[in-house]
Amino acid sequence: MRMKDISVVPVVDNPKDRRYLGTISDRDIVTRCVAAGHDPKECSAEDHVRTDTAVVTPDTELDGFRIERLDEKDTHIRSTIVVVDHTRRVVGFIPHPEQVEGIKVG
C-alpha cells in the first residue's frame, strides 16, 4: 500500500476469482492489528476486513450517488467505492469519489 501510495484496497477471496469480501485501510491495519498487539506480517486482511464500503456495479448511475460517513474519523471507508460485476467479482475501484462529478460524500 505504501509503495503504491494508496490507503484503502479491496479484499477478495482469491486472486483468480476476485470475489469481493470487503476493504481494508492502512488505518484498519494500525487500529485493528498493530494496536491490538499483533504482528502485521501475521495478520491476514480477511481477519480485519470492513464490509461497510459502498459497492456499485458498472452500470450504476453515479450522478447524485451519495456516500454517508459515520463520523469525522470515517475518512477512508465510506469515501471509497468498489465496483463489482453481477457475480461480485471486483472489476474496479474508485478511491476518491469526492473528486468525481455527481458523487456526494458527506
pTM: 0.77
Percent of the chain clearing pLDDT 90 (strictly above): 27
**Dist. CA 52–CA 39, nearest whole Å:** 25
Average the pLDDT over 12-17 and give the result.
94
The mean pLDDT value of the chain amounts to 83
Residue 11 has pLDDT above 90, yes or no: yes
- Condensed to tens digits (0 to 9), the pLDDT of residues 32-72 reads 888 889 888 888 888 888 888 889 999 988 888 877 665 56
pLDDT of residue 73: 59
- Condensed to tens digits (0 to 9), the pLDDT of residues 89-103 reads 999 988 777 777 877
Residue 19 near residue 85 (C-beta atoms within 8 A): no
pLDDT of residue 41: 86
CATH topology (fold) of 8-105 = CBS-domain (3.10.580)
pLDDT of residue 31: 86
Residue 3 near residue 16 (C-beta atoms within 8 A): no
